[in-house]
Amino acid sequence: MPENKIDLAADVATMSPTTNEIVTAAIAREIRDGDLAFVGVGTNGRAFTLAVGIPLTAVRLAQMLHAPSASVYWGNLLEPDLSSMPADLKQDSFTRWQAAACPSDTGVKCDMLARRAFDVCFDSAAQIDRFGNLNITAIGDYRNPKVRLVGCLAQPEHFAFVPRPIVVVDLDRRVFVEAVDFITSVGHLRGGRSREEAGLSSGGPQLVVTDKAIFDFEPGSRQMRLRSLHPGVTAEEVFDLMSFRPVLPEQLPATPLPSMQELDLIRRVIDPNRVLLRV
């Protein structure tokens, strides 16, 4: 299982890829030319890497390789300059990040979400279940919670209106649960056509990218399905880290490794100071 530590002095060409790099390259291949992707503002540490670092690096990588007109809406910046990302997480670095547009308020972003102007979004969560429903609101009983989390932000909008949501989260039994305690974001709801029957447009989460494996959702049942295992990870190891059993495909490939070109761009051009993929 590759780690995320990296020796910056080592020869880029000979150093094997980290898990973050494998995941980033895999997500980059999902980005199509012309896509508009929503990336949240994140928090810190590992949560920042999952919600912000990996998505921004992946979209930038896609821009440089096969999707030159892909773009990002980050915070309230539309098309921020991904060739020059903030060097730290202080307010003034965000304020001065250059972008094509900084609309007068976030209501503009909300309106764009509701009219389905986005193609892709990135979400992370405290809980995700078999049908890809997310919880970032409360653990336990909503009215008498064991843990009160942050609320909902625009994560309900992402799943309601964005055609290709990508969930980025570490594999963990407490996170991958049979049913979330609170449905903040409606994924495939109870499976089958229950999402559409609730009045939502078709779509819902498309991929769940973790540090051990990548999942998609089985057409028809809409249950989470194992799509690929990262190099060195076994299916048993994955099952041990989940509270439910995902659907198994007929063929279970390894997650493709980043190419030399992808690794070189991530390490030397996009994130040379290891700010985005630090942990």
Partner 1 sequence: MKEKLTTLEEALAPIASGSTLALGGSLLRRQPNAAIRSLIRRGVKDLTVQSWAATTATDMLAAAGAISRFEGIYTGMFSYGLAPNFRRGVEGGAIAVRDFSETAMVARFRAATQGLAFLPIKTLLGSDIARHNPEQIRPFSCPFTGEPLQAVAAAKADFTIIHGYVGDKYGNVQWPIVRDSDDIDQMIASAATRLIVTVEKIVPHEEIKRRPTLTYIPGNWVEAIVELPYGAHPAACDGHYDEDDAHLTGYLERSRTPEGAQTYLDEYARSVPDHDAYVAKVGGLAALEALDVPNREQTHA
- Smallest distance, Å, CB 178 to partner 1? 16
Q: Which residues contact 11 (CB under 8 A, 6 or more apart)?
A: none
Distance between CA atoms of residues 75 and 278, nearest Å:
21
Of 46, 70, 73, 43, residue with least CA distance to 59: 70
Q: Among 189, 214, 224, 229, which residue sits at the site for partner 1 (rule: CB under 8 A)? A: 189
Residue 95 vs 251, nearer CB to partner 1 = 95
Q: Which stretch binds partner 1 (CB under 8 A): 25-33, 42-50, 61-69, 232-240?
A: 42-50
Q: Among 3, 13, 143, 219, which residue sits at the site for partner 1 (rule: CB under 8 A)? A: 143
- Smallest distance, Å, CB 49 to partner 1? 13
- Smallest distance, Å, CB 251 to partner 1? 33
Tell whether residue 199 is a contact of partner 1 (CB under 8 A). yes
Tell whether residue 207 is a contact of partner 1 (CB under 8 A). no
Of 117, 116, 113, 75, residue with least CA distance to 96: 75
- Smallest distance, Å, CB 147 to partner 1? 7
CB 105 within 8 A of CB 164: no
Tell whether residue 89 is a contact of partner 1 (CB under 8 A). yes
- Residues 144-173, one symbol each (x = binds partner 1 by CB under 8 A, - = not), give xxxxxxxxxxxxxx--xx------------
Tell whether residue 103 is a contact of partner 1 (CB under 8 A). yes
Of 85, 103, 101, residue with least CA distance to 93: 85
Q: Among 96, 202, 219, 236, which residue sits at the site for partner 1 (rule: CB under 8 A)? A: 96
Distance between CA atoms of residues 257 and 138, nearest Å:
36
CB 195 within 8 A of CB 204: yes
Distance between CA atoms of residues 247 and 220, nearest Å:
12
CB 70 within 8 A of CB 35: yes
Tell whether residue 63 is a contact of partner 1 (CB under 8 A). no
- Smallest distance, Å, CB 52 to partner 1? 11
Of 36, 38, 64, residue with least CA distance to 51: 38
| Integer CA distances (angstroms), 193 to 31, 85, 156, 204, in order | 26, 41, 18, 11
**Residue 46: helix, strand or coil by DSSP?**
helix
Tell whether residue 72 is a contact of partner 1 (CB under 8 A). no
Chain residues binding partner 1 by CB under 8 A are 41-44, 48, 75-77, 89-92, 94-96, 102-107, 109-110, 113-114, 137-138, 142-157, 160-161, 182-186, 189, 194-195, 198-200
